[in-house]
């Protein structure tokens, strides 16, 4: 999912169970952008989830957070409590395999140990504050963390797989003008546990409660949160049980992070958000592109492919009348030649953004794809999902921050 802006505008804050929008002191209220009215029908109300054991409000606790620690770390911590090391393995299984939200659920632990755990640690699971479900099975969750910040995660069920799109930051500092997250500004990085927690939360809504793929394409630029990202990827593989080859990291083109990830020894898929075939247009759409031009980004993408043996996905968000012309298709084909990558076309999903855009006309999108294929480019096209809900990155968080009329809250 495409990255958001450094615009210091509206941010969600906690208030009596709901979250109103306020402006940060660094930006006068009159600089805030208007929110476009949304006339779509409300999402479906569903049942509440169990209340998770979390830390005190606003992080007022020194207790260790267990979600985000691997089994070896949990074993070491339990030994420090004078408990057998295997209890750490049991707790890891409860967190990552069974998705426990409270120590009381860990019924193979002695009652005395469960009571001690409640006094000694927190699981660190976020609250599912809102949920939207589309007719195609897409589910979008708004997760609220202990400090009051919120992120989105999306469950995407397909015939051959079940994927989860997770966020890596609260908001995003990158500046993509087509992304709804841009309206939220940037608040903070997520921890590894908070990233993994999104997968655990989404998994409970998946068919058979099974997830096969994870894409880090939600709110935020993952490579600006590098160390927690890599820890989360390792946890998803080692503890949750997902193949590295089923994990995808999306970047707006953070070149140092791309090069670093190439040498990390993790065979994950890298997706690079191009969205324009030339630097002039790309700099308008993605302000971070002013720092690293397309030549440098493509060099880093090739380095990643050579080092990992993995083909790089070139993401291309198709904006009607902006980047879907035949000349632009020819430019993109020149960039995308070669065996180390392929192009994934993504028709724009209507959303409230910093600039106004529209979806491409079907016939124009078809000709754009054909122009690429005629020039030998391998092309895929993302299936449009969840259009009747706030499926685009940042949309549900915007609804939470700016209005209550369309937000389904979990009682």
Q: How far apart are CA 261 and CA 267, in angstroms?
A: 10
- Nearest alpha-carbon partner for 357 in 281, 250, 272, 279: 281
Q: How far apart are CA 300 and CA 294, in angstroms?
A: 10
Token duo for residue 198:
């999104």
Token duo for residue 69:
């620690």
> How are the residues of the chain apportioned to helix, strand and coil, as percentages rounded to the nearest 5?
35, 20, 45
Q: Does residue 393 have an active-site annotation? A: yes
Tally of CA atoms within 13 A in the half-sphere of 291 that contains its CB: 10
Instruction: Determine the 3-state secondary structure of 349 from DSSP.
Output: coil
Q: How far apart are CA 90 and CA 279, in angstroms?
A: 52
Decide if 4 contacts 171 (C-beta within 8 A): yes
Give phi and psi for 162, each to the nearest 5: -125, 120
Bridge partner list, 13: 20
Token duo for residue 318:
């198709």
Tally of CA atoms within 13 A in the half-sphere of 77 that contains its CB: 19
Question: Could you please report the per-residue DSSP string of 57-108?
Answer: GGG---PPB-TT--HHHHHHHHHHTT--THHHHHHHIIIIIS--SSGGG-TT
Decide if 210 contacts 246 (C-beta within 8 A): no
Longest dimension (CA), the chain: 70
- Nearest alpha-carbon partner for 170 in 201, 197, 139, 145: 145
Token duo for residue 311:
């083909």
Contacts of residue 24, Cβ cutoff 8 Å, sequence gap at least 6: 8, 9, 11, 185
Q: Does residue 405 have an active-site annotation? A: no
Catalytic residue among 53, 83, 152, 194: 152
- Nearest alpha-carbon partner for 140 in 148, 129, 149: 129
- Nearest alpha-carbon partner for 53 in 4, 27, 91: 91
Catalytic residue list: 152, 393
């Amino acid at each position: 999912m495409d990255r958001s802006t450094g615009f210091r505008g509206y941010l969600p804050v906690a208030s009596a169970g709901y979250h109103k929008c306020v402006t940060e002191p660094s930006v006068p209220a009159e600089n805030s952008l208007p929110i476009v009215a949304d006339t779509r029908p409300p999402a479906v109300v569903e049942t509440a989830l169990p209340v998770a054991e979390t830390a005190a409000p606003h992080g007022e606790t020194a207790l260790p957070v267990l979600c985000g620690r691997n089994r070896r770390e949990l074993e070491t911590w339990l030994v420090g409590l004078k408990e057998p090391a295997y209890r750490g393995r049991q707790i890891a299984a409860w967190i990552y395999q069974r998705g426990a939200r409270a120590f009381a659920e860990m019924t193979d632990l002695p009652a005395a140990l469960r009571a001690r755990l409640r006094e000694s640690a927190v699981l660190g699971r976020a609250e599912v504050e809102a949920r939207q479900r589309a007719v195609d099975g897409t589910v979008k969750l708004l997760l609220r963390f202990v400090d009051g910040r919120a992120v989105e995660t999306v469950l995407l069920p397909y015939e051959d797989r079940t994927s989860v799109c997770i966020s890596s930051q609260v908001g995003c500092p990158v500046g993509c003008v087509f992304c709804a997250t841009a309206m939220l500004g940037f608040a903070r990085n997520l921890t590894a546990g908070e990233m993994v927690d999104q997968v655990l939360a989404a998994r409970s809504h998946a068919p058979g409660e099974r997830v096969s793929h994870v894409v880090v394409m939600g709110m935020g630029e993952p490579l600006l949160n590098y160390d927690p990202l890599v820890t989360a990827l390792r946890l998803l593989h080692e503890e949750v049980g997902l193949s590295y080859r089923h994990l995808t990291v999306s970047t707006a083109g953070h070149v140092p992070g791309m090069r670093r990830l190439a040498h990390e020894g993790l065979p994950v898929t890298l997706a690079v958000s191009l969205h324009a075939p030339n630097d002039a247009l790309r700099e308008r759409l993605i302000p971070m592109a002013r720092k690293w031009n397309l030549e440098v980004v493509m060099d880093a993408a090739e380095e990643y492919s050579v080092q990992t043996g993995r083909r790089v996905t070139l993401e291309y968000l198709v904006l009607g009348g902006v980047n879907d012309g035949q000349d632009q298709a020819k430019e993109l084909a020149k960039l995308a030649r070669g065996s180390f990558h392929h192009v994934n076309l993504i028709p724009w999903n209507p959303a409230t953004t910093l600039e106004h855009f529209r979806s491409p006309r079907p016939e124009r999108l078809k000709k754009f794809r054909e122009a690429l294929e005629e020039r030998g480019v391998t092309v895929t096209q993302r299936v449009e999902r969840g259009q009747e809900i706030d499926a685009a990155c940042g949309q549900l968080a915007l609804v939470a921050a700016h209005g209550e009329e369309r937000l389904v809250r979990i009682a």
